[in-house]
Amino acid sequence: MYDSSFWPKGVTRGHPVLFVFWLLICGAILQFTGIGAFLCLWKGLNQTGMNDYYAFGLWIVIDLAVIALGAGAFFTSFLSYIVRIKELKNIVGVAVLIGFICYTGAIMMLGIDIGQPIRGWFGFWHANIHSMLTEVMFCITTYAIVLIIELLPAVLENRQIAKVPEFGTFAHNLHRIMIVFAGTGTFLSFFHQGSLGGMFGVLFARPFAFREGFMIWPWTFFLFILSAIATGPSFTTLCVMITEKVTGRKLVPHKTKMLMGKISGLLLTAYMVLKLADTYYWAKVMVPGVGSSLDVMYQAPYGTWLLWAELGVCGVLPAIMLLVPRVRQSYGLLFLAMLLNCTGIVLNRFVFTIQSLAIPVLPFEKFIAFMPTWQEIAVGSLILGYGFLVYSLAYRYLPIFPKEVELSQD
Amino acid sequence: MFPFSFEWHWDIGHLVFFGVFYAALTVIGITLVATIFKTGKDIASGHAHVEHDDEHDAHAEAAEA
Amino acid sequence: MYDFKKIYRTEESRYGMLINIDKCTGCGACSVACMSENNSGVLEDETNKIRSVTWLRVYQVDNGQAFPKTEVAFFPRPCQHCQGGKVGNYKEGFFFEDPDAHENHTPCVSVCPATATDYDEKTGIVSQVPTRCIGCRYCVAACPYHARYFNWYDVPWPKGSERALSPFVSPRMRGVVEKCTFCFHRYQQAQNKAFKDGEEKIAEMDYQTACTEACPSGAIMFGDLNNPDHKVGQTIQQYQKEGRFVFRLLERLGTNTKVFYTTEREWVRRKADNFISDEDFKQALPGQKG
């Protein structure tokens, strides 16, 4: 058919008309994003729902969430190329793709989020090395470069592009040296996932977010890393499962999905143990230590239901589920457990961003809730439109599912 | 960012932070450049890795590697 | 008793304020003077105060009682110019360092990724460089006093109003953060004057903030806390000897600020920090009252 010579070898893809229709939907989302972005750049950030109480809004929540969800890229690469777990070769390609989408999408959104986007490079040129945000900026941009390099072989191995000997050979050589990039990526990711947590943990004047720690790193540094690597594999697998259902094709062996689930389960359990301990200490010692109480920290609409949702329904529950082999064997239960897992991390990022800022510290300051404007939601939908677009193009044209041919013959 | 920048101090913080950063960039850069050179060498010596429209596709090879 | 050289761990100048809450009438002259001095603009729509730029903001508080027992007070709140340090413990009050405590820095300075704000070791003033600021608002999130303001709008200076702008302070465009600088440009002018006059140090009255000068009831006192000749330090110690409450906002967080408040009313003192019980409150007081 029309573009079938561009499809990966040995597989079929949907009708081009359907695909173009889908691309148009992605385009429409991106147009919506474009309008919001244009307004924010032209008229200023007053177009959003942010204010002097909510210096961070929807975009930072989305940025934190997608970077955590995109951690599947570095961790799956680490396990696949460095620890050499062979099973994961079946899913590392799509994990890197998802990571690429998450990181580049987050960087684009940050370009709108800062008040002076043209001055964004000041964070590099006039770097304050003591700031966690500096660490984040440096590591995220460097890791985005690593992700582009890691994704490059898949792009160059498109059936038509690979016919050019230079590209095919380059992709082949990149594959052989990928361990270096996986290692560098792991190192960089460890630090920026942690620094994103560190950003909030160092705010000693914000009792909701502040944590003691180890040397310069607050406990949130380690908790954010752990939660990211616990959720990253789940998100990658979720995306694959959704793709499989939508396209009606088997892309990744269930055994691989189960392994991702097991990895998620083990890490999530470890995370929950530490997180519960940390939350307990915070609630019992740190909060009263600054003269506050849990009622103040969790007030409507950000009430204690958030705590139970984040730690219980979307924390302990999926951790237990993912450790049970029977759950992992069931497509539906595995999907549910991973969905709860990913929801939990989104809640965690939301809580640290929005709820930290909601709690007034001065007794005579007021509590206000946050509500994003449509322009803010429009820019936030970048990650959806851009993500769907890139993912769909990659699914259709790039050989990112090594076992698809084998599975389609079953 | 660089030693000649206004905020630069030769203290442990700057040394560690920028040391690690430039080390990471160097590793990435050298590996990328080396791969490009190797590719050039492979093409020149006739060992180009070409995509064939049968079993021998680069993807399967990567899965085996 | 507050021992400034001990709290700030230096012999250098540490410019600070004493605000007498019992004298403050809530007139807002300080806030207006600050806006005028520092070229802060008035937005088209000032009804939504959560986006207004008010470097010095006057908060109204009351004792929570119904009429006729209602009492009202006002807290003028400039930037507190935190130094950070090691939070003291209950035993000696919060202004003596606990050597085992975690060392803090100025909450906003340590987080700025582009070094657009810095703690000046010579004066104790936290600077703000709007031309360097990238508008990430991390400092706004870090400040517990809401002393930092982001320019959500470009100020719509009406035609002709630019002639009333002070030439000593650059106006800011949208997308950058700004805050009270203790009228640092006046410090620079005082330095120029001292140099011209052949003096080593600047005179106390040559460097006073706009809000201090504007206050009709003299509720604000400004000067070098580390200089025993300056009134502000002397008054703080005198008030403490007299048994008045002298305190700083959110002292137990360990921000180690330079804006002191004083009052004789206990309910006002309670408003300055969070306490979970009377017991907790009483433990915070030793050494603060004489």
Q: Which of B22, B26, B59 to mutate to test the interface with A (most CBs of A within 10 A)?
A: B59
Tell me the pLDDT band of A299, cut-offs 50, 70 and 90.
Answer: confident
Which chain B residue shows the shortest CA-CA distance from A145? B28
Structure tokens at A361: 């510290």
- Least Cα distance to A363 among C59, C84, C18, C143 occurs for C59
How crowded is residue A409: how many other Cβ atoms within 10 Å of its Cβ? 7
What are the backbone dihedrals phi and psi of residue C65, each rounded to the nearest 5 degrees, phi first? -100, 155
CB contact (8 A) between residue B27 and residue A168:
no
CB contact (8 A) between residue A188 and residue B7:
no
Tell me the pLDDT band of C2, cut-offs 50, 70 and 90.
Answer: confident
Rounded alpha-carbon distances, angstroms, from residue C11 to C5, C122, C223, C259, C268: 6, 9, 15, 18, 32
Tell me the per-residue pLDDT of A41-62, one tens digit each, with 9 for 90 and over.
999 999 999 999 999 999 999 9
- The beta-carbon contacts of C143-146 under 8 Å, at least 24 apart in sequence, are C143/A205, C143/C107, C143/C108, C144/A205, C144/A206, C144/A361, C144/A362, C144/C107, C144/C250, C144/C253, C144/C255, C145/A361, C145/A362, C145/C77, C145/C79, C145/C80, C145/C249, C145/C250, C146/A52, C146/A53, C146/A362, C146/A365, C146/C57, C146/C77
Tell me the per-residue pLDDT of C37-55, one tens digit each, with 9 for 90 and over.
999 989 988 987 899 999 9
CB contact (8 A) between residue A126 and residue B6:
yes
**What CA–CA distance (Å, rounded) separates B60 from A268?**
33
Quote the pLDDT of residue B55.
46
Tell me whether C174 touches chain A (CB under 8 Å): yes
Q: Compare C202 and B50 and report the one with higher pLDDT.
A: C202
**What CA–CA distance (Å, rounded) separates A40 from C16?**
39
**What CA–CA distance (Å, rounded) separates A295 from A311?**
17
Percentage of chain C lying above the pLDDT 70 cut: 93
Tell me the pLDDT band of A90, cut-offs 50, 70 and 90.
Answer: very high
CB contact (8 A) between residue A127 and residue B60:
no
Percentage of chain A lying above the pLDDT 90 cut: 93
Percentage of chain C lying above the pLDDT 90 cut: 75
**What CA–CA distance (Å, rounded) separates A61 from A345?**
11
How crowded is residue A240: how many other Cβ atoms within 10 Å of its Cβ? 24
Quote the pLDDT of residue B62.
52
Q: Which of A9, A80, A157 to mutate to test the interface with B (most CBs of B within 10 A)?
A: A9
Tell me the per-residue pLDDT of C117-165, one tens digit each, with 9 for 90 and over.
999 999 999 999 999 999 999 999 999 999 999 999 999 898 998 888 9
Q: Find the Cα–Cα–Cα–Cα dihedral A314, A318, A320, A325, rounded to 10°.
A: 180
The three-state secondary structure class of C221 is: strand
Q: Is C23 exposed, middle or buried (0-12, 13-18, 19+ CB in 10 A)?
A: middle
Residues of B in contact with A145 (CB under 8 A): 28
Quote the pLDDT of residue C94.
55
Tell me the per-residue pLDDT of C204-247, one tens digit each, with 9 for 90 and over.
999 999 999 999 999 999 999 999 999 999 999 999 999 899 99
**What CA–CA distance (Å, rounded) separates C159 from C43?**
14
Question: How many beta-carbon pairs below 8 A join chains A and B?
Answer: 102
Q: Which residues of B22-58 are buried (b: 16+ CB within 10 A; e: fewer)?
A: eebeebbeebbeebeebbeebbeeeebbebeeeeebb
Structure tokens at A168: 């095919």
Q: What is the mean pLDDT of chain A?
A: 95
- Least Cα distance to C151 among C55, C47, C30, C33 occurs for C55
Residues of A in contact with C137 (CB under 8 A): 50, 55-56, 115
Residue C268 has pLDDT above 70, yes or no: yes
Q: What is the mean pLDDT of chain C?
A: 91
Structure tokens at C194: 């001292």
Residue C96 has pLDDT above 70, yes or no: no
Q: How far is CA A303 from the centre of its chain?
A: 25
Residue A4's contacts (CB-CB under 8 Å, 6 or more residues apart) are A12, A13
CB contact (8 A) between residue A52 and residue C51:
yes
Tell me whether C272 touches chain A (CB under 8 Å): yes
| Radius of gyration over every alpha carbon of chain C, rounded to an integer in angstroms | 19
Quote the pLDDT of residue A95.
97
Tell me the per-residue pLDDT of A367-391, one tens digit each, with 9 for 90 and over.
888 999 999 999 999 999 999 999 9
Residue B56 has pLDDT above 80, yes or no: no
Quote the pLDDT of residue C289.
55
Tell me the per-residue pLDDT of A100-124, one tens digit each, with 9 for 90 and over.
999 999 999 999 999 999 999 999 9
Region A73-93: what's the mean pLDDT?
Answer: 96
Tell me whether C145 touches chain A (CB under 8 Å): yes
Single-letter amino acid code for the residue at C204: E
Rounded alpha-carbon distances, angstroms, from residue A140 to A9, A172, A188, A226, C10: 34, 26, 8, 17, 39
| Pick from B13, B17, B35: CB nearest A173 | B35
